[in-house]
Amino acid sequence: MRHLFQRKVFLYAALYITVMGAVSSLLYSRYEILTNAYIQTNVKEFDDRIESYQSMQQRMMDNYYGMFLDSPRVSKIMYQARHSDAQGQMILRKELYDRMGVVYDSLQEFDVRVLFFHFPKQVAFLRVHEPQRFGDELSVARQSIVQAQQKQQKVVVFETGKYVSHFRSIYPLFYKGNFTGTAEIAYPFLALKRQAILQDKGAYTFLIKRSMLTKKSKTVEIDKHFQDSLFGSDYIEDQESALLKDAEGFEKGELEELLSENKAKIHKALKKEKLQGIRLTHRGKDALMVLKPIYQIGGEQAAYMVEITPNHTIFATQWNQFLALLSTLAILLAFLLWYVYRYNRSVLFTEQYKHAIEDSMIVSRTDKHGIITYVNPLFIKISGYTEEELLGQPHSIVRHPDTPDTVFKGMWHTLQRGRNWHGMLQNSTKNGGSYFVKNLICPIVDENGEILEYLGLREDVTEIETSRLRAQEAERIKSAFVANMSHEIRTPINGIVGFIHLLSRTVLDPTQRRYVSIVESSLEMLLHIVNDVLDFSKIEEGKIEIEWIPSDPKRELASIYELFIPQADIKRIEYDLLMDDKIESCLILDTLRIKQVLSNLISNAIKFTPEEGSVQVKISVVEDTLNAQKLEFSVRDTGIGIPKEKQGKIFEKFTQADASTTREFGGTGLGLSIAYAIVDLMGGVLQIYSDEGKGAAFYFYIDAKKCDEVPDNIVHADEFTRQSGMTPVL
């Protein structure tokens, strides 16, 4: 007997070790997943900051190129200089320097350090940042210039020069169709360090492969601008942005010790040449290093952007959690195995767990017909009934009358299938009050799967639910208040607009007329904002209805197009209407709402399109059946476009592409929300396609039935055209 007992102990010990080994492996995998997720979050955040700043810098440089470098006079100077002798080139170089000096001063505010003009065949014509150097041949050291001139296209690249390394944009220059050379705008890593990277604490540097520079420069020249790095002999650092310069959050000598202690790990990471994060440990503290590889022309990895931030306590926290969880599970498993041998103690533990639940949760049991057989003290306390009043009663004794029957039907359907039911219910107290509980109801089954009873575990969430309902009511009251206030404000505004209009028709001196014009513009803007708020309030309250009536879509939609012709003319925008001649002369539509949507889209398109851009309004038939047509409505522009990461939120209320858009162009951020809601009410979906910097296209589809007969009051598009004098483009 003793031998059997010892054998069982050995078997359970072996089982314990096996299970704990598996659990340890799973928990450690979880720990690694959490740690890697934290590292990747930091890596992505660093990468996003870099990419965001570089994107902003690129747009800025492109704008400067478009406004100042790609000008007829600059191109002519380059053309004339190319065909002049040395004396003529000197005069033209001086003229170009005088023109570009102010531009370069402005670019320096954006940390640009290079403004450089090159002749074809890669010969330096003018370094605005270093005008005394010119005439040198660039083809060996500057492959980016070679590529830009060969392709006669813009090249954006990181590239090491003879002495310095920059993020460069090289643009082609043409004069009367003739290629005259290239212009270059560039900024150093120091700009990223200043503008996009520096936080309260951390160290940052730009590691450049030594081999990238030794191909182009002598060692003595490299030593003037660069220094040995703490990351090994293969990399050097720019002296202006070295790791130890401006580093914060580290004690004196700590960075050097940190890198030395983790030298092998860092060396291995550098050889991977990919975006990555590395946990560094020193003196029991954790730091995080992020490496972002930089590739030069040809795709060769040339450098790393490096961020090292201290005090990442989450690594230690997660490790402690891993140990705590592992220890907890080890103890629980030990108790579970001990249960087999010490049944009486396990009963005691079970009772303790039961008491813990009883003391913290609202508990009840019912038979399979829903008759209460047990309630704990918390159930009695919250319901207001005595135990005697509850036992033997159906559980519906605490049902609140506001709870719909469908909830209980769904609950019973789930329970009778032997599944747990989760949900929140509002219950009634004995004195007529109510409370909210979060429920877990479990069917208890026998060995044959037959339901014996139901166990209900509930958590009192009355305070949380009451707060939520109050917040909803407050939101409803706020919306009603805003709508009422907007409506009340609109009446006096209309009165003021009328009187200002009358005032503008009186005899006024130029100053007074300018003042009146400013007031008129401000009132129109204010009235537009108030109308947007009113429309959105109506939509939220469900007060806008779609009125499907016979309409001539060509006439109605041509009229909304014509409304914006003056605005387009002011900005010299190419403004076109393309209308499919297959569109029926009478369709069942709510043209008022469609015009409201198109009005918003056209207004936005003209607003966000620069002068001499283009805006196109198009209505076409995409499906044509015997009784109906499916129409596509689209508005395309060549404006500023919308970043892809913002396109998913552009239809949310009070949302614009970014804060600078609001400051520059104004608006409430409600227009697209209103348009989206109206299109949704008509059974369509307002969609967007946009490339940032290249414009945007908004489009939606509407199904319209054909009229059985054309009402007499419809004026057809051809008659409207004769009346208005407008010829839509078909």
pLDDT at residue 174 above 90?
A: yes
Taking the C-alpha atoms of residue 551 and residue 713, their distance in angstroms, rounded to an integer, is 9
pLDDT 10s digits, 449-469: 889 899 988 888 888 877 877
Q: Please state the rounded mean pLDDT for residues 612-631.
A: 94
Report helix angle 343-360 to 314-341, nearest 10: 130
Strand partners, 624: 629
Residue 514: the pLDDT is 76
**Strand order in 235-238's β-sheet?**
226-228, 235-238, 203-209, 301-309, 285-295, 276-282
Taking the C-alpha atoms of residue 170 and residue 118, their distance in angstroms, rounded to an integer, is 10
Dump strand ranges (E) for 524-627.
549-551, 574-579, 587-589, 614-624
Backbone φ, ψ for residue 519 (5° rounding): -65, -40
For the domain covering 467-541, report its CATH number.
1.10.287.130
Whole-angstrom CA distances from 670 to 355, 508, 615, 695 are: 55, 37, 22, 20
Question: Is the CATH code 3.30.2320.50 the one for domain 549-706?
Answer: no
Q: What is the DSSP letter of 619?
A: E
Strand partners, 706: 587
**Hey, what are 444's tokens?**
């208890």
Lowest mean pLDDT among 218-222, 382-386, 463-467, 595-599: 218-222
Candidate ranges 2-16, 193-207, 380-394; pick with highest mean pLDDT: 380-394
Taking the C-alpha atoms of residue 109 and residue 11, their distance in angstroms, rounded to an integer, is 76
Taking the C-alpha atoms of residue 206 and residue 511, their distance in angstroms, rounded to an integer, is 57
Is residue 681 within 8 Å of residue 546, measured between CB atoms? Answer: yes
3-state secondary structure of 378: helix
Residue 13, burial from CB neighbour count under 10 angstroms (0-12, 13-18, 19+): exposed
Residue 77, burial from CB neighbour count under 10 angstroms (0-12, 13-18, 19+): buried
Residue 190: the pLDDT is 81
Dump strand ranges (E) for 120-164.
123-127, 155-160
Q: Please state the rounded mean pLDDT for residues 495-522.
A: 75
Taking the C-alpha atoms of residue 239 and residue 291, their distance in angstroms, rounded to an integer, is 19
pLDDT 10s digits, 295-341: 888 788 888 889 898 888 888 888 888 888 888 888 888 878 777 65
Residue 484: the pLDDT is 60
Taking the C-alpha atoms of residue 640 and residue 661, their distance in angstroms, rounded to an integer, is 10
Residue 456: the pLDDT is 87
- Closest to 604 in 3D by CA, of 498, 488, 698: 698
Residue 214: the pLDDT is 65
Residue type at position 175 = Y
pLDDT at residue 541 above 80?
A: no
The pLDDT confidence band at residue 663, using thresholds 50, 70 and 90, is very low
Other Cβ atoms within 10 Å of 517 Cβ, number: 13
Length of the chain measured in residues: 730
Higher pLDDT, 625 or 336: 625
Strand partners, 127: 116
Q: What is the dihedral of CA 130, 134, 136, 142, to 10 degrees?
A: 50
> Measured in whole angstroms, how far is the alpha carbon of residue 522 from the centre of its chain?
32
3-state secondary structure of 233: coil
Taking the C-alpha atoms of residue 410 and residue 408, their distance in angstroms, rounded to an integer, is 5
pLDDT at residue 40 above 60?
A: yes
pLDDT 10s digits, 1-35: 455 556 666 777 888 788 888 888 888 888 889 99
Is residue 437 within 8 Å of residue 414, measured between CB atoms? Answer: no
Is residue 680 within 8 Å of residue 613, measured between CB atoms? Answer: no
3-state secondary structure of 207: strand
Residue 64: the pLDDT is 94
Taking the C-alpha atoms of residue 19 and residue 332, their distance in angstroms, rounded to an integer, is 12
Is residue 64 within 8 Å of residue 185, measured between CB atoms? Answer: yes
Residue 8: the pLDDT is 66
Q: Please state the rounded mean pLDDT for residues 493-505.
A: 74
Candidate ranges 195-199, 362-366, 492-496; pick with highest mean pLDDT: 362-366
Is residue 149 within 8 Å of residue 182, measured between CB atoms? Answer: yes
Whole-angstrom CA distances from 85 to 81, 82, 89, 304 are: 8, 8, 6, 44
pLDDT at residue 616 above 50?
A: yes
Taking the C-alpha atoms of residue 614 and residue 568, their distance in angstroms, rounded to an integer, is 9
Domains 352-460 and 467-541 share a fold: no
Q: What is the domain partition of the chain in residue ranges?
A: 70-187, 200-311, 352-460, 467-541, 549-706
The pLDDT confidence band at residue 425, using thresholds 50, 70 and 90, is confident
The pLDDT confidence band at residue 372, using thresholds 50, 70 and 90, is very high
Regarding the domain delimited by 200-311, which CATH topology (the fold level of the hierarchy) does it fall under? Beta-Lactamase (3.30.450)
- Superfamily of domain 70-187 in CATH is PAS domain (3.30.450.20)
Backbone φ, ψ for residue 546 (5° rounding): -90, 130
Residue 340: the pLDDT is 63
Q: Please state the rounded mean pLDDT for residues 278-283.
A: 90
Q: Which helix (H) or strand (E) holds 441?
A: strand 434-445
Q: Which CATH number fits domain 352-460: 3.30.70.20, 3.40.50.1820, 3.30.450.20, 3.20.20.220?
A: 3.30.450.20
pLDDT at residue 118 above 90?
A: yes
pLDDT at residue 726 above 50?
A: no
3-state secondary structure of 721: helix
Percent of the chain with pLDDT over 70: 82
**Hey, what are 298's tokens?**
């040809």
